[in-house]
Amino acid sequence: IGPHNIRGGGSCKIIEPNSSIKGLFDENMDIIFANQSLYYIPLKELKQNILEFYELLNTGGILFATMMSKKNYYFSHSQKEEKNGLSKVEINGRLNETSFIHFI
């Protein structure tokens, strides 16, 4: 999928995995919404992105983000956490899924 595939949204940006968001936006924002996306980012890049989000917010702005808890079903299928903060999660059966997730 590329930017040409997105209709509407005006200033929607597609961000490359594990990259900085600095310089992508020309103005600050009142709200940043990161739903079910940040827990796939390695710890170092996650910390960097969170700091960059706060730099992009107007005074009094809101960062709304979801993370995956260790109480989540996926955690029971996770392997040891790697140095980058991600744990390999393998689910077999109906889902047949392999992911790398940062649990909190």
* pLDDT surpasses 50 at 1: no
Residue 39 CA neighbour count, 13 Å, CB half: 21
**Rounded Cα gap, residues 76 and 102, in angstroms:** 13
- Global confidence as pTM: 0.73
At 37, is the pLDDT very low, low, confident or very high (cuts 50, 70, 90)? Answer: confident
Quick check: 69 and 104 in contact, CB under 8 A?
yes
User: What are the residue ranges spanned by the domains of the chain?
Assistant: 1-67, 68-104
